[in-house]
Chains A and B, each alone.
Chain A
Amino acid sequence: MEPIFLLDGERQLTATQVGGKAVALATLLKEGVRLPKTACLTTAAYRQFLHINGLSEKIQLELNTKEFSDMRWEEIWDISLRIRQLFLTTRLPTPLAATIHRFIAAEFGDVPLAVRSSATEEDAANASFAGLHDSYLNIRSREQLERAIRKVWASLWSDKALLYRQELQLSVGASAMAVVIQELLPATVSGVGFTHDPLDQHRMVIEAVHGLNQGLVDGDVQPDRYRLKREDHDLIDHLGPEARDRYAISSLEQGEGIEIASLPPEKASQEPLDRQKLATLVQTMARLEARFATPLDIEWCWAHDELHILQARPITAAAGERTDRRAWYLSLHRSFENLLSLWQTIEQQMLPAMEGEFEVMAAVVLTDLADQELAAAIRHRSARLSHWSKQYWDDCIPFAHGVRLFGEIFNEVMTPADPYQFVSLLSGEEMLSTRRNSMLHSLADQVRSRPEIGRQYTAGGFATIEDAGFCRGLLELEHQFGNFFRTQQAESEDSRDNLMKVILQYARLERTGEKQHQPARLELEHQFLTSLSESPLNMDGGQLLALARASYRLRDDDNVYMGKIEQQLALAVAEGRRRLVAAGYAKLKLATPEELAALLVGEQVELPEQLRQRAKSGPERERGGSPRTGQPAVRARQLPGQPASRGFCRATARVIEQPEQMAEFKAGEVLVVDSIDPNMTFLAPLAAGIVERRGGMLIHGAIIAREYGIPCVTGVSGVTGYIRTGDLVSVDGYLGLVIVEGGGASAAGTA
């Protein structure tokens, strides 16, 4: 079989050769359905590309650094980014490229093209891959075509595709990607139709927009919705969009991709489908459903006054959970437009609202409240925390995709050797955590210049420090950033003593001045913006960069805001607990805020006799290690993770498992933790390196490590079980390795 050929209704094709989408399109052609002119580049071409460039083993090395099921979604994204980079930086074999270009020139001339995925499992009846792989529209030049083909191939390894395959227990190694290349029709109207309404099987539902389909598929253009009876095709209702004011068009200039433009007024007042067109479409949908003998999801468009079918795939039989999960994976990838609106929501509404609530909560003098009022405060704060936590999942986590989108575009335009070079363009913006650390530095400067502060503290604790300016500074830090040691009562002497220990460690650091990012960063920024404007990608570089920087900064800041609300709940809980203990209650240690509130108002609450371990609300803890006493029989020597911040260090480890242990952290130690929460990042300037069980390039530990230029390895399974405080460890932030030399039992202490 030749590597590229035109689809017709004649050939017998299998999904193994041409992927599921091409097989479905060939079946449509056999039925006499009108399709745009369509060619297929086979899976053999994809395999040849992998083989000639030795890519298979590179991909497998990336995927097998640890158990796939142990990886968090962020880690999978990182892997997928590195794999995508392999595809972007590797050229097509010359003879294959020549064959493709010859064929396209002969069959399509210079019409703009749509380049779509056709994976081997795609569009099978038992699994829907809709939206999991990528398509590229309005491809005009040879260079654009080659790049689009490589990107479609790479999308076989996208994070969402990897996760979905894992969920369906499909082997990623066995799958392959064919590519469908179609003429991009100048559609006046387009949309999707479901022959079975997912909500009511007696109805069909059609969504239609002016212009190209992509605006609808990406969620950037709201559709008109038509519901019809399946039985006689009578229109049940038509629901217009809130605003019919935009449409997707292919850019007329050399840029690839599509643009979202304002809809001309004469179209804005017009439904996309008149009754005649609607009838034609419904009849075609019914005919196709009968032919395929299964409910279908059909993409269609009107061009040159004719109805064209773009694709038809079975509506997944086992909807329900599977489809829901896919929707969640898909929701993590947002379009540029969508991200811009999320940014507005988070920065203009959500964070100011959280700060406002924090201020109100912080103004309450808890000790003045009656028990009833305190119980109400605990319940209120607990409810607000749940509320913001949900908002965090709905808005902040998807907004983090801004960084990813930027990374993908940066890598595509710049093809850097280091796929994370883009992060250097994002870092250096002032983050709340770096501001907090600057305050710590300035207090440490005072300790250095006025040694009596340290002496007084050593003699009698924080309470005996006489320097009023210093004490004010510490209280201001506490006010702005809340309690650092959450299990200890905020603003207590214990907590302030611990904060002093941290400041004394800061005072031991050499002040080398802030990191000088600026010149190199400006140069890189300039290069990127120039390359993007010269590339065929149709994007506003300045706006993209601003969005990505906000996404990067908020990734850290939003957690600080969340942390402040959490602390206010913790304060109220601590006050409640204090009163209950005074009233003679015992076994309160593991009581929930709700249980404490109930006890405060005199309700009966059954507290457990034995200390029971409640399920932790945070990420699940792993236990990879052996018992923590004595020398275990199995010891880790070299633990692989992800290289999250470049650099190398060899120093003594300190494992932090409880917040109060943070006060023991010494300058020059390696911080080893399960997961760094944003309130822990004040340890970063003290640390020689950071090692974290939780994985990802964009988690807090990784972000702050890069800010301070210290090596960081994340995603190290079971690390807090394998490393003990006092062990000598090497952190290799280039390769993502932690080498354990042991000695924890005897070497415990300072570095």
Chain B
Amino acid sequence: MQRQEADVRRRIAQVLESQKLAVLATQRNGQPYSSLMAFAHTPDLARIVVATGRATRKHMNLLEEPRVSLLIDTRSNTEMDFHAAAAVTVIGEALPLPEEEQETYTSLYLRHHPYLERFLEAPSTVMFLIKVHHYLIVNRFQSVMELHLEHGTDIFA
């Protein structure tokens, strides 16, 4: 079982490492809303950090409803994707980054996205820390595995 967990963790980490962008899903009043976001993750996969302007819809949505989902995938937009692409779905909770953790996560984010320095430095940019509840990884078309970092029931249960 431990070996399987290590394998799933490795595969999830590979997908996260290989990608610069994720699709973030938020919602307001039951209306889903998705946005393309630059992201960075901690090596233990427990946290993902994103940043957004404070006048955006997604920012308002996150303040009202912290439960989020992210999609990160390796598709190349070819036929091969059906057997070769992997997609990671993240389920978690997004909260404004606490002041005392700014430095750690700013440097993590900038290591992945050095060109976004000016964006990140702007006082109108807000960073959110996503505490990951669990991951789902899909590959080989329909193989789906889950990695639970927090003990709990299924999100839809």
Contacts and interface: CB of A to CB of B under 8 A. Distances in A.
Contact of A648 (B115, B118, B119, B123): B123
Nearest to B117: A58
B96 interface: no
B114 A735 contact: no
B53 A732 contact: yes
A57 interface: yes
Nearest to B115: A57
Give the one of B55, B119, B122, B125 with max A CB within 10 A: B55
A31 to B, nearest CB: 45
A193 B26 CA distance: 68
A159 to B, nearest CB: 19
A734 B114 contact: no
Given A57-B115, A58-B115, A61-B115, A417 B121 contact: yes
Contacts of B118: 735
A418 to B, nearest CB: 9
Contact of B56 (A54, A57, A58, A739): A739
A648 B56 CA distance: 13
B114 A58 contact: yes
A648 B118 CA distance: 16
B115 A739 contact: no
B54 interface: yes
A646 B123 CA distance: 9
Given A417-B121, A648-B124, A732-B124, A737 B114 contact: no
B114 A650 contact: no
Contact of B55 (A61, A643, A737): A737
A730 interface: yes
A650 B115 contact: no
Contact of B124 (A57, A61, A637, A734): A734
Contacts of B56: 638, 739
Interface string B103-117: 000000000001101
A737 B119 CA distance: 11
Contacts of A739: 53, 55-56
A650 B123 CA distance: 15
B110 to A, nearest CB: 10
Interface string B56-76: 110000000000000000000
Given A54-B114, A57-B115, A734 B55 contact: no
B114 to A, nearest CB: 4
A697 to B, nearest CB: 15
Interface string A509-543: 00000000000000000000000000000000000
A650 B55 contact: yes
A529 to B, nearest CB: 27
Nearest to B119: A735
A120 B145 CA distance: 53
Contacts of B57: 637
Contacts of B117: 58
A735 B115 contact: no
A734 B115 contact: no
A650 B53 CA distance: 13
A730 B123 contact: no
A737 B54 CA distance: 11
A734 B124 CA distance: 7
Interface string A638-659: 1000010010101000000000
B121 A648 contact: no
Interface string A406-421: 0000000000010000
Interface in A709-742: 730, 732, 734-735, 737, 739
Give the one of A61, A637, A730, A734 with max B CB within 10 A: A734
Contacts of A53: 114
B33 to A, nearest CB: 12
A98 to B, nearest CB: 24
Interface in A35-77: 53-54, 57-58, 61
Contacts of A730: 55
A646 to B, nearest CB: 8
Contacts of A638: 53, 55-56
Interface in B29-56: 53-56
A97 B121 CA distance: 29
A58 B53 CA distance: 19
Nearest to A62: B118
Contacts of B115: 54, 57-58, 61
B1 to A, nearest CB: 41
A648 B53 CA distance: 11
A375 B150 CA distance: 86
B119 to A, nearest CB: 7
A359 B55 CA distance: 49
Nearest to A730: B55
Contacts of A61: 115
Nearest to A739: B55
Contacts of A732: 53, 55, 122, 124
B28 to A, nearest CB: 14
Contact of B122 (A54, A650, A735): A735
A91 B107 CA distance: 19
A732 B125 CA distance: 10
Interface pairs A-B: 10 shortest CB-CB: A730-B55, A734-B122, A57-B115, A54-B114, A739-B55, A58-B115, A734-B124, A732-B124, A735-B122, A648-B124
Interface of A: 53-54, 57-58, 61, 417, 637-638, 643, 646, 648, 650, 730, 732, 734-735, 737, 739
Interface of B: 53-57, 114-115, 117-119, 121-125
Given A734-B125, A739-B55, 13 more contacts: A54-B114, A54-B115, A58-B114, A58-B115, A417-B121, A638-B55, A643-B122, A646-B123, A734-B122, A734-B124, A735-B119, A735-B122, A739-B53
8 contacts: A54-B114, A54-B115, A57-B115, A417-B121, A732-B124, A734-B122, A735-B122, A739-B53
